[in-house]
A and B are shown apart, each in its own frame.
Chain A
Amino acid sequence: MRWLNSLTICVALTLLLGIVGLLADLIAPYDPLNTRMFRGLQPPSNVNLMGTDQLGRDVFSWVIYGIRTSLLVGLSSATIAVAIAVLIGLLSGYRGGIIGNTLMRVADVFLSIPRFMLIIVTVVLLSPRISNIILVIAIFSWPEAARVVRSEVLSIKEREYVMAAKALGSRDLDIMVSEILPNVIPTILSLWTLIIADAILTESALGFLGLSDLNYPSLGVMLMMAKNAIFVGGWWVLLFPSIALVILILVFNSLSDKLIERLSPRLG
């Protein structure tokens, strides 16, 4: 598995997945939401590359659009989560104070209760629209990242160059933005990709439990179909979405590993 360990290949795979997601309309031969009952559970063939599910939906098209949905949810919720985490981590790491410390206590509470349960309850109460799913995953994903950012900031702010900037009379905001933030960026990038992987996992898990936006094909929903399909021999409904999902999560997880190794060797 050495090939997976190289950052270049991870980036290349990410770009490839991104292109698949962007060009889903061109790649997918059918409308994934289109059901044709009379063509239910067809094995892979020239007509349906990855077969069809019980409702006659084309698995290949579903997988292509599923990758798009995964990336949409993963990227947007991770970006929101990291933005919150950086703000709070910087604030509480550099300034401390009542607000900073209170926010960290809030983070601790979120870290100590079962996250997936909270996500399920919130999504059910708010109805599983795609915007709700993205927001809910984002809101419950920032605490761990904020902790990491905070501990980085705590160690960086004791460095000489920060002291120097302080001695020269820089304002706190300037120090935070131009002295501390650039040094946290490797960590932030690594956290970002890690949260993307986690958000993709959460989104598909919600889909598997039947909590997904019906307008956005989710890999989890096809895996829910697989639950019954495998009993009547429909292995293709399970196999292909699983491969797509594992590759997605694997790529972003290793991207996170590689980024932290490459960008800040002292942590690797």
Chain B
Amino acid sequence: MRGLTSVFYRLLIRLILLIPVVLAVVTIGFILIKLFPGDPAVLLAGEAASPQYIERVREVYGLDRPIWEQYLRYLEKVIMFDLGYSLSYKRPVLDVILTRLPYTIILAVSGLSIGLILGLLLGIVSAWYRKKLISPIISSVAFIFYSTPVYVLGQFLIYYFAVTYRVFPVGGVVTIGVEHSNFYAYILDVLWHLTLPSITLGLVFMASYAKLTRSSFLEVISSSYFLAARSMGLRTSTLILKHALRNAIIPVVTLAGVQLGMLIGGVIITESMFSWPGIGQLTMEAVSTRDYPLLLGIFIFTSIAVVVINAVVDFIYGVIDPRIKDRW
């Protein structure tokens, strides 16, 4: 019981320590508004706003006041979860973001999983057979994927699997104009549409996981406890799965958490390529309609989300694996 309370307190402290980072994110947002070469009221209202609305926004954000007061008002609004009003959607920015969020989560989670599974597999094979020909081949392939931009990879997949052979759809979430007979048919349709975008995202991240798995796996299988397990005559599958993988996987999963910010970059491009209606596509819509409040709102929302998720993931590792020292 005492252990549980201390874990709770540690989590609490961890989250409190996030406050400066969140403040920094809001400050960056404020600096961006100030950097805008035009009228900040136009920026916060949106370029298509009427003069009356722009005047109201000027008043609400105190844009005719001293700069510190502008900052405090902006900060207050963000803390109260008020990210402004999107003119192109005629709804509060936060609402618009939340309706798109589930799509991004589905894509990010499936892409990350595919990347992790492929990366672990390739890493283990190339470490286990490190003296065979397959090892340098895997390393080279991983290196080429590592240097391939996500939209090059995605477009080749679209060209082969959606245009030439028509195995998978070109984009979207469900087939347009099809009545789904039941819920399972609907889910299957979504999964069918999800395949190409999540593979695209997964292949891009596969490379760095493969590289890290290889080195961490090599470290484990050269350790003395692994030698002991091996000399007991265990089967290869038991050795790899039970004794090596368990320890080798930790740094890889940690990397997956750290790469969350990078994942967002991949998600933006993948979504706009496959017309997947998540946050990434929303970002590009905001860019093309010059909906600045929406754009800034997405930036602040995703930044804070990534920071919080990273902290929680990091914390969970600390609880699961006591060898990872708490760094706060």
Contacts and interface: CB of A to CB of B under 8 A. Distances in A.
Interface of A: 1-2, 4, 105-106, 108-109, 111-118, 120-122, 124-127, 197, 201, 204-205, 208-211, 220, 223, 226-227, 230-231, 235, 238, 242, 245-246, 249-250, 253-254
B31 to A, nearest CB: 10
Interface in B144-183: 144, 146-152, 155-156, 158-159, 163
B264 A205 contact: no
Given A114-B261, A231-B163, 17 more contacts: A2-B136, A112-B21, A112-B310, A113-B261, A114-B302, A115-B261, A117-B302, A125-B292, A204-B149, A205-B150, A208-B269, A209-B284, A211-B287, A226-B155, A242-B156, A249-B149, A250-B144
A170 B219 CA distance: 42
A230 B7 CA distance: 54
Interface of B: 20-21, 24-25, 28, 32, 35-37, 43, 136-137, 139-140, 143-144, 146-152, 155-156, 158-159, 163, 260-262, 264-265, 268-269, 272-273, 283-284, 287-288, 292, 295-296, 298-299, 302-303, 306-307, 310
A111 B262 CA distance: 10
B43 A114 contact: no
A118 B137 CA distance: 36
B151 A114 contact: no
Nearest to A105: B20
A230 B273 CA distance: 13
B306 A4 contact: no
B35 A125 contact: yes
Contacts of A108: 21
Chain A at the B interface: SS class: helix
Contacts of A211: 287
Contacts of A249: 147-149
A116 B137 CA distance: 31
Contacts of B283: 117, 120
A112 B20 CA distance: 12
The 10 tightest CB contacts between A and B, nearest first, are: A116-B265, A1-B140, A114-B264, A113-B303, A250-B147, A249-B147, A109-B24, A114-B261, A242-B152, A230-B159
B140 A117 contact: no
A49 to B, nearest CB: 20
Contacts of A124: 287, 295
A112 B156 CA distance: 31
Nearest to A111: B261
B265 A121 contact: no
A238 B163 CA distance: 13
A115 B260 CA distance: 11
Given A117-B298, A120-B283, A245-B152, A125 B36 contact: yes
Given A121-B299, A242-B156, A114 B144 contact: no
Contacts of A118: 28, 299, 303
12 contacts: A1-B139, A105-B20, A112-B21, A112-B310, A113-B261, A113-B306, A113-B307, A122-B35, A205-B265, A208-B269, A230-B159, A245-B149
A242 B155 CA distance: 10
B261 A210 contact: no
Contacts of B268: 116-117, 120, 209
A112 B261 contact: yes
A210 B290 CA distance: 13
Contacts of B158: 230
B143 A254 contact: yes
Nearest to A113: B303
Given A223-B151, A245-B149, A117 B264 contact: yes
Contact of B287 (A106, A209, A230): A209
A4 B139 CA distance: 12
B13 to A, nearest CB: 17
Contacts of B156: 238, 242
Nearest to B303: A113
A114 B24 contact: no
Contact of B149 (A121, A205, A226): A205
B265 A230 contact: no
Contacts of B265: 114-117, 205
Nearest to A121: B299
A238 B295 contact: no
B113 to A, nearest CB: 20
A112 B35 contact: no
A121 B310 CA distance: 22
Contacts of B148: 246, 249
Contact of A201 (B28, B140, B149): B149
Among A2, A108, A109, A211, chain B packs the most CB atoms within 10 A around the CB of: A109
Contacts of B261: 111-115
A242 B32 CA distance: 33
A162 to B, nearest CB: 27
A253 B307 contact: no
B294 to A, nearest CB: 11
B146 A253 contact: yes
A93 B27 CA distance: 26
Contacts of B139: 1
Nearest to A116: B265
